[in-house]
Amino acid sequence: MCDVATVQKIANCLGVAPGKIQLNEEQVVTRTGAQNKTVSGFATILESLARESKSETAQNSIVTKEVQAQVYQWIEFAVLYVAPGSKDKHVSKQLLADFNKLFISKSYLVGHFITLADLAVYYAISELVKSLSPLDKENYLNLSRWFDHLQQRPEIHQGEPMLNFTTIYLHNWATGTHI
Amino acid sequence: MIIYTNEGNPLGLQLLMLAKFAKRAVQVQLVNLNDAKYKDLLVLPTLELDTGLRLFSTAAIAKYLLGDEGQQRDEWLEWSTTLLAPALAHHMAVGHRADPNALPVLNGLVKKLDDCLRNAPFLAGDKLSAADIAIWCLLAPDGTLKGAQHVDNLRSWYDKIKALPEVQQVLGEQPLKELSFNALQQANRYGGLHHVPLRRSSSVDAGKLLAETAPTVADTVTDEEINAARAAFTYTKPKELAEARTVLPKAGERNVLITSALPYVNNVPHLGNIIGCVLSADIFARYSRSAGYNTLLICGTDEYGTATENKALAENMTPREICDKYFELHNSIYRWFGIGFDYFGRTTTQEQTDIVQEAFHDVYKAGYILTESVEQLLCQKCDRFLADRFVEGTCPHPGCGYEDARGDQCDKCGKLVNATELVRPRCKVCNSAPVLRSSDQLFLDLPKAEPQLREWVDRVEQGWTHNARVITRAWLREGLKPRCITRDLKWGIPVPHKNFEKKVFYVWFDAPFGYVSMTKRYTKEYLQWWQPAAGTNVELFQFMAKDNVPFHSVVWPSVLLAINKGNTLVSHIMATEYLNYEDGKFSKSRGIGVFGNDAQETGIPADVWRFYLASARPEGQDSSFSWNDLAARNNSELLNNLGNFVNRALVFCEKNFNSTVPQIVLNQDELVLLALINRELRGYINSLEKAKLRDGIRHLLAISRHGNGYMQTQQPWVLLKGNDEQKSRAATIIGLCANIACLLANLLFPYMPSTARNLFAQLNAKQTPLDASKPLATILLPAGHKIGKPSPLFTKLEQAFIDELKGKYGGTQETRAEEPQQAAELEAAVQAQSDKVRQLKASTKDKTVWQPEVNKLLELKKQLEAAQKTTPAAAAPAAATQSVQDLENAVQAQGEKVRQLKSSTKDKAVWQPEVNVLLALKKQLDAAKAAPAAAAPAAAVPTAAAPANVGADAGKIKALEDKIAQQGEKVRSLKASGDATIWKPELDVLLNLKKELAALTGAPAAGTQSKNKKKK
């Protein structure tokens, strides 16, 4: 996921020209921006994008040192655990449960506002969320709420079809909780 | 700041270094992610800042603590966490996780580092930065650079950093050799970094830089371990394990008193009971004896109480005779399982009476007894006060509401219940509602004892299992309440108190003293165990299932603390969770599961049962008994691993060395093997010292696995055919393996005593004491020792045999193997299908939607009928289906009638009764539709009877309804005339008719009656 496409999507979100995004010989994503400056590494690139952006999300991500550190750690978590772990049955189950627990009391990963952390995890976990059955989406209700909330933003879904979190057609079978 | 990390986590070192360089004080806390206390931690290490903010990314922490040091550093930091650390984790993995592809990748990464350091002294330029620290800390543990070639730049950088005073200080606190990338597996709940794919560099091969030897467990053996193994592997004539006739505690020695929760005499113990207490206690006691501690294992049956009284009534015997009968049953079951009690007693002894009554006097004198008038439940039908366990009802605790809560405890929420507080209580025997009556009872003043108890719990709870601590804490948190200790019964210990002579003590004040009285039956010197003299230390280990914890951790200790005579209090509560049967519950009443006597009938040896139960012991969480698992463990662990190793070693010795243990000359391979065995041996001792029986088995099996691996790599069968030097190698190998077999026999003894004895006989050796303070392998069979005749220890359990047993013990004991499988499956299918139909019908009126499903249901029912033809139950669904059609016709006819009436007249009085009839009919129809499904599988259940009748009596109902309609008409016309004396008798006739109808259909009588009354 820490691939070229995700960086481009996030750059779009932030309203920054992505520049040239590619993989270097170590299979690490790099960005060549203005003045031929090259940055390598997913998290480091995201930080550089944030510095260039005037968007709300980018500003939110650098308000304090503490927020910055937390944002970084979630980006790293997305790279290290969410993206590769989504492909593993056991890891992905644990990830879903962990995030679901996390979002019991939070609307966003860091602080009370949207940051790059949300974006990184959102794109890293979207394939996994897409694969969930309606029942699973109910099981991971808090995660679903967070995901659904983010995907409503046009700069985030970027024209991709939105995932369906309504459970209304389940209503005949069980009066479920609705997001 | 606090660093939360797990043992050996190499990333913890990074945080220590970063804190040191940032000049921040930090303390380290080793945690286990499985611990409920740390359930919020995602990844270890996690740093908690003084503000409470928690960060788990080392790179984020580095940036936070050391501030901005340039983009290059940031790139290196990210590189180290996302590329280097996963590659190292892959490279260091052992066993099935070992990854041969990791080395080339790692070589590429190392080359990149070396190249970078060729041009600059530090990674991010001229100055030391967080990047250098982070990467150094990844390379240092596990000796990654050991034996690396052509990395001179990297090496000099490495040494330069190592020499820094800050680094030296941290290494002083946190030695490198304790760290390993394998510890990352426990650092998160995702299995470490194993899921992170290796990123193979697309550039040319970096060449061979790092030393090639893929690490194995053997590589982790240190020189100290080798030396210790060599020094210990000598022969000293073993001390005989002598056991005194009567075991008594001795001053200055370790004295272990072990009890197992007293099984209630009427219950046939099932496997869960057996592993929960008696077997666990026995395994631990056998270990404790072989470790040379003075050990006493006491257990017995708990015999007083209403349940026994009732059983006696039911079997037309005296309670005493019942107890005698069931005591023998218990005794024989435990004997078959090889449980070696020092004394297996009973609570119905004179000693018990004396001790309980004396204890009562003491507690009374100390002022811990209250008298209170108690409301008790009296079942008028059975004419007796109901003991707690003979009342059931809805749990009174808010939020629980479990309907089958027992009178003493709710099985769902686990909380204690006062029988009188149950919502809607019912007598368990006759199912009628009991009434409250009051009588005087004695209470134990637990609130008064609470302060002492709290102080005591704080002091000793470290030695208890986790669940015992949690349960006790929950009790204390809710605050203790006085507990009633007397009952209005006959079968019990009389209360020696004025006006209470007719009452007996309740189980709380009776059963726990059984441990003491049984010890008294064992020896007159029982007080040496229970009130030890100063200077003699007795450790009391009590084994039980978790439902017994409150009695042992709160109630009984409170009594003993109140008595204050220096009684031995429990130091180790060893509580297990529940053992399920194939993912369901054991149930004697439904005959599900394997009970003590069943195990005997299977023909599987008791030792295999013991081994399996101990390895499936519900230690941390509930576990399940499964036949497949039993077979798998027997076949793979006992037969293929342990049995195979021991047998190969002994047969080689017999065939090639004339049954004589040859001379052993230790080489490096042997020393590594011994060092690895010593590790497991230490694990085994540590586990068993804490009565972690399940872990003990793991270590034991690991030893024979090491042995098997050793034999496989050394291939003595090849060496035996070689030259003299090779032959002497073979001799060493066989001699060592025979000694390991003897060690295994010793370790196996607590779990499988008769197998171990068999093995000792094959080895021609005796059991030797285990030295818990020095867990190192020694020579047990010196060169020249003659062994006996080897023979296989275990036999294979074939799948067909296991399947047979699975079928036999899966269902109800009475109906076992009677009910054809097919019918049961069909019943389930019918039920599921009819549920579906009901839901569909409820949700939509569109017949096209539900009709296909209804057809399916009818088809299924037909099949079921065919399958059940032999059983009478088949009649019910058939009749019910029939009635559905009848009723549907009736509904249609009535509907027509109503429509016509409504169109012809506006007078509600005229058509209302007909509408009511229609509604009643529809209700019946619904009931009839719902019923067949319920009736079919449960024809025996009483509720099924009513709907079944519907079909048979449909005609009768119709007739009644017609009559009612006519009578109603009559009443109405009479009422119009006004004279109550005239129409009243007719109305009564109508009401009676309606009652009759209601009785037949089970539906409430139609509402006309109440309406008429209102009008009046």
At A140-178, the pLDDT tens digits run: 999 999 999 999 999 998 888 888 887 665 555 555 555
Residue B514 pLDDT exceeds 80: yes
pLDDT: is A26 or A49 the higher one?
Answer: A49
Asked if residue B175 lies in contact with residue B169, where contact means CB atoms within 8 angstroms, the answer is: no
| Cα dist from A13 to A4, A68, A107, A157, B731, whole Å | 14, 18, 19, 9, 73
Q: Is B114 on the interface with A (CB under 8 A)?
A: no
Least confident of A86-95, B278-287, B422-431, B582-591: B582-591
Q: pLDDT value at position B335? A: 94
What residue ranges define each of the domains in chain A, with the CATH number in brackets? 4-170 (1.20.1050.130)
Q: pLDDT value at position B827? A: 66
Asked if residue B296 lies in contact with residue B342, where contact means CB atoms within 8 angstroms, the answer is: yes
Asked if residue B3 lies in contact with residue B20, where contact means CB atoms within 8 angstroms, the answer is: no
Asked if residue A138 lies in contact with residue A68, where contact means CB atoms within 8 angstroms, the answer is: no
Residue A39, both tokens: 């940055």
Q: β-strand B27-30 against B2-5: which pairing, if any?
A: parallel
CB contact under 8 A, B75 and A44: yes
At B397-443, the pLDDT tens digits run: 888 888 888 887 887 887 778 888 888 888 887 888 888 888 888 99
Residue B999 pLDDT exceeds 70: no
Banded model confidence at residue B184, pLDDT cuts 50, 70, 90: confident
Q: pLDDT value at position B212? A: 57
Collapse the DSSP code of B626 into the 3-class scheme (helix H, G, I; strand E, B; otherwise coil) and give the result: coil
Region B326-339: mean pLDDT is 93
Q: ipTM score of the complex?
A: 0.93
At B466-511, the pLDDT tens digits run: 999 999 999 999 889 998 899 888 899 999 998 898 889 998 899 9
Region B339-358: mean pLDDT is 94
Asked if residue B651 lies in contact with residue B791, where contact means CB atoms within 8 angstroms, the answer is: no
| Cα dist from B132 to B128, B138, B148, B966, whole Å | 6, 10, 19, 101
Q: What is the 3-state secondary structure (H, E, C) of B113-133?
A: HHHHHHHCCECCECCCCHHHH
Asked if residue B869 lies in contact with residue B826, where contact means CB atoms within 8 angstroms, the answer is: no
Least confident of B16-20, B137-141, B198-202, B451-455: B198-202
At B13-40, the pLDDT tens digits run: 999 999 999 999 999 998 888 878 888 8
Residue B263, both tokens: 């099984």
Q: pLDDT value at position B125? A: 85
Q: pLDDT value at position B954? A: 59
Region A26-46: mean pLDDT is 88
What percent of chain B has a predicted confidence (pLDDT) above 70? 80
Q: pLDDT value at position B1009? A: 41
Helical packing angle, B165-173 and B152-162, nearest 10°? 70
Banded model confidence at residue A82, pLDDT cuts 50, 70, 90: very high
Residue A128 pLDDT exceeds 50: yes
Q: Is B942 on the interface with A (CB under 8 A)?
A: no
Residues of B in contact with A43 (CB under 8 A): 59, 78
Give the mean pLDDT of chain B.
83
Integer distance in angstroms from the first to the last C-alpha of chain A?
27
Residues of B in contact with A48 (CB under 8 A): 71
Q: Is B200 on the interface with A (CB under 8 A)?
A: yes
Asked if residue A156 lies in contact with residue A119, where contact means CB atoms within 8 angstroms, the answer is: yes
Region B970-988: mean pLDDT is 63
Residue B334, both tokens: 């435990």
Banded model confidence at residue B180, pLDDT cuts 50, 70, 90: confident
CB contact under 8 A, A76 and B190: no
CB contact under 8 A, B199 and A27: yes
Q: Is A84 on the interface with B (CB under 8 A)?
A: yes
Residue B863 pLDDT exceeds 80: no
Residues of A in contact with B191 (CB under 8 A): 90-91
Element of type H or E holding B437: strand B435-444
Report the candidate in B338, B263, B269 with the shortest Cα–Cα distance to residue B598: B269
Q: Hey, what amino acid is at B525? A: E
Q: Chain A: give the shortest CA distance to residue B698, in Å.
A: 24
pLDDT: is B333 or B911 the higher one?
Answer: B333
Q: pLDDT value at position B644? A: 93
Residue B87, CA atoms < 13 Å, CB-side half-sphere: 26
At B869-887, the pLDDT tens digits run: 544 443 344 444 455 666 6
Residue B650 pLDDT exceeds 70: yes
Q: Which of residues 2-21 of A touch B (CB under 8 A)?
A: 2
Integer distance in angstroms from the first to the last C-alpha of chain B?
83
Rg (CA), chain B: 38
Banded model confidence at residue B305, pLDDT cuts 50, 70, 90: confident
Residues of B in contact with A172 (CB under 8 A): 839-840, 843-844
Banded model confidence at residue B818, pLDDT cuts 50, 70, 90: very low
